[in-house]
Structure formats: structure tokens, C-alpha cells
Amino acid sequence: MIPEGMRDVLPAEAAALHALEELLRARFAAYGYGEVRTPALEFLETLELADDDMVEGGYRVFDEQGRELMLRTDLTVPCARLAATRFRERPLPLRFSYVASAFRSPSASRAQDGEFAQAGVELIGASGPEADAEVVALLCDVLAATGLPEFTVSLGTVAFHTAMVASLRLSPDQEQAVLDALAARDYPLFESIVGNADVDEASRRALQKALDLGGGGEAVHQARKLAGSAGMEDAIDHLVQVRDIVEDYGFRDLVRIDFGLHPGLSYYTGVIVEAYASGTGLPVAQGGRYDNLLASFEWPVPAVGFAIAIDRLGMAMEDARVALPQRPRPLAVAGGLREPALMAALRRAGLDALAVPVGEQPPREPALYREGSQWVLRRGGRIARGSLKELRRELEVP
């Protein structure tokens, strides 16, 4: 028995996940992002600096001194802590990548286990549309490299909605409640809060229209018509610049602007990004700009990044019948435990070799077993018989 929300990963699935993780690592490295590994356990107060609801669903434990610890609920906050405590004297920007597990109470609404794997990057110490575009382009690159035939990367901006909500002239508590409702995509709650506040009808309708805006040039045009402040205009200009730069990277047909996009994490401050693919109703990747998070560690530098939900990405690839190349099956050698010199020679030759019981004909290929005085090699539908010396070339043994 294992705890609710946890699961075992069996060899075939583990091999597929390993192949996917290695591909992700390779693409991250191609852009200069160095892999970091942070501890699974962090002090609770560290994760609470993000001021996010994720902490409520975290797994908590106590150390011998009675200090409250928590299994990391995401990787962005630990990377921010790492950067602020270990890299302050290094030249900026910093480029980190990770492939690791995070832990949160299982949720049916998020279709998420209690332990889930994430792969992502953090670009710390760089601002502007060029930095945002590099991260979005890398996400497009990674998803394209998996072989997915179809996926969409949506770009939105927190700054546009924040500026529009600010124009409603709500109380600070009401304003935060509206932003929280939008983050949770709880539009009935949003309607209730705004409806009970002293908000003029034109402003309320403008915000509702903004949430319904989709992608493409027409959405940008409509957003400009709704913009009632310089902050909103700046947010639109920035978003368009990011999209154009990403298109210059070669991903013109993959990126769309979506003004209805709103993050599920409270620490995002600017551009946000989500990626979708068939086979899963939830995003396979999410991210954005979080310029205030590092200030929680007394190091006010800008940052942007994304995280890929590896399990969801794997589901999308399975739905699309996309499989990554994996290590070939080992050569099953009947009686291999009694042939140590042979097994060693096979492995020195670069072959993976698996010992199976004496006298048993291995049930799958590739296989090497005895039939009387001869060895039989069965591989790729071909059968070869003879002594080991005669099969040496077939076996690729020097």
C-alpha cells in the first residue's frame, strides 16, 4: 500500500519518461540553461514567501528542532531561493533548468497526483520583451522537439488585467478579490464582487470584453480599443513585441495572443504563457514573468520562466502516438549467470545483456540460447546458429 495520490512507475513507463526527460534536458542545455537540483524539503517560511495558495496543499513535516518543513510545491520558489542565496555575486542573467518532482495534495480538478514531475527553466536578472521571448521560444522548441503534431502556445499578460482592474477604483480588498477570482477562473465570483461594488457599467463591460478576447490581430485591435490607461497600452505593446520576436525565432504558427488568459499563481506580474495539446484538457506547460518574487529574498531582480507538466506532456504524446527513441532491449542470454566471461564480453562490446535461467528459451528478442551443442541467436526476425566463435560477428563481440 502507498499513500493516496502517490503511484509506482513501472519499467516500461519509466523508460519512456527517461527518454522524454533527456530530450528536455538537451533542449534546455542548447539554450545555455544549466541544470540545478534543489532539496525536496524546504523551510515552510521559504515557500510561504511566494504568498500563493499552493502552500495550503503542501505536505508538512517537522525536523528534530521542531521547525516546520514542507515538500516543495513547485520548483520556481526553490530556484529563486537558490539564486538569491548562492548567486548574488555572479553576473546576470542567470539561466537555470530543472527536471524534478514537486509535491501537493492530490486534486481531481487539476488531474494531478500528490507527486508530479516538472521540467522547466528560470531566466533570472533579465527583463524586457527579448527575455520573455527567449523563454517562450524555448518552450515552443521543446514541444516541437517531442514530435507532437499539434500544440498551441498562448500568450497573455497579467499587467493588462491588473491595470484594468485598477481602473475600476475598487477598495484594496475588493481589487485583490477580483484578481483572485480571475486567477481561479471563477467568473461567477468575479461577477458577484463587481456587481456588489460601486463600479460604473462601462468599466465592468470593458473588463468582461477583455476576458473574452482571443488570439490574432483582431484581439489586439479590440484590446487597444478597451485600453483606458497608459499601463494597459504598455502591456499590449509588450505582449505584441514578445509575440513578434518569438515568430522571428521561427515559431510563427504556434503562438497566439489570448487576453482571457490569467495565471493560477499569484506571483506572476507580466507576460504569462500556457501550452495546450490534445489528449489532456489541462495545460502541458505554464509560466510567465515574476518580477517581485526575488525581492521576497531581499534581491529585487526580474525573472521569467516556465514549467512543463511531464506527465501531461506524456499523455499528449501518447494520444498523438508519438514515441521517443529508447534504449534497445537487452540481449537475453539463457544460462548467462553461468557464463560470466561471455556476459562480460557482450557488455564490453557495448551490448546490453540480460541473464535468464539455464535451459529456458527467452520469450522475446533479441535472445541467445543453446540448442544442443549450438548457440542460437534470434534477433529482428532472423535466426543464426553456430558456435560462439561463428556468431561473433552477429553478436558484435570483438
Written as one string, the DSSP assignment of 151-173 is -EEEEEEHHHHHHHHHTT---HH
Q: Scanning the structure block, which residue is given the C-alpha cell 522537439?
A: 145
Model pLDDT, residue 360: 67
**In angstroms, rounded to a whole number, what is the distance separating the alpha carbons of residues 306 and 285?**
7
Model pLDDT, residue 395: 78
User: What is the grid cell recorded at 107?
Assistant: 486534486
Q: Scanning the structure block, which residue is given the C-alpha cell 500563493?
A: 52
Model pLDDT, residue 239: 94
Going through 37-93 in order, the beta strands assigned E by DSSP cover 41-43, 60-62, 68-71
Model pLDDT, residue 280: 87
Q: Would you tell me how many other CB atoms lie within 10 Å of the CB of residue 174?
A: 18
Task: Give pairs for 167-171: CB < 8 Å, separation 24+.
Answer: 167/203, 167/228, 167/229, 167/232, 168/194, 168/197, 168/199, 168/203, 168/204, 168/207, 169/199, 170/197, 170/199, 171/197
User: What is the grid cell recorded at 147?
Assistant: 514530435
Q: Scanning the structure block, which residue is given the C-alpha cell 518580477?
A: 291
* CB of 70 closer than 8 Å to CB of 58: yes
* CB of 224 closer than 8 Å to CB of 213: no
User: What is the grid cell recorded at 138?
Assistant: 524555448
Q: Scanning the structure block, which residue is given the C-alpha cell 527553466?
A: 121
Exposed, middle or buried by CB within 10 Å (0-12, 13-18, 19+), for 341? exposed
Q: Scanning the structure block, which residue is given the C-alpha cell 509506482?
A: 8
| CA-to-CA separations, 298 to 95, 123, 293, in angstroms, rounded | 19, 18, 9
Cα torsion angle, 132, 133, 136, 138, sign: negative
Model pLDDT, residue 109: 55
Task: Give pairs for 185-189: CB < 8 Å, separation 24+.
Answer: 185/262, 187/211
DSSP string, 329-356: PPEEEETGGG-HHHHHHHHHTT--EEEE
pLDDT by residue, tens only, the chain of 398 residues: 888 888 999 998 999 999 999 999 999 999 999 999 999 999 999 998 887 667 778 899 999 999 999 999 999 999 999 999 999 999 999 999 999 999 998 865 556 688 999 999 999 999 999 999 999 999 999 999 999 999 999 999 988 878 878 877 788 888 888 877 777 777 788 778 877 777 777 777 777 777 777 666 778 888 888 887 788 889 999 999 999 999 999 998 899 998 878 766 678 889 999 999 988 889 999 999 999 999 999 999 999 999 999 999 999 999 999 989 888 889 999 989 988 998 998 898 888 999 988 776 777 889 998 888 888 999 888 899 998 888 877 877 65
Strands 115-124 and 94-103, sheet pairing: antiparallel
Report pTM.
0.88
Domains and CATH numbers, the chain: 11-319 (3.30.930.10), 331-395 (no CATH)
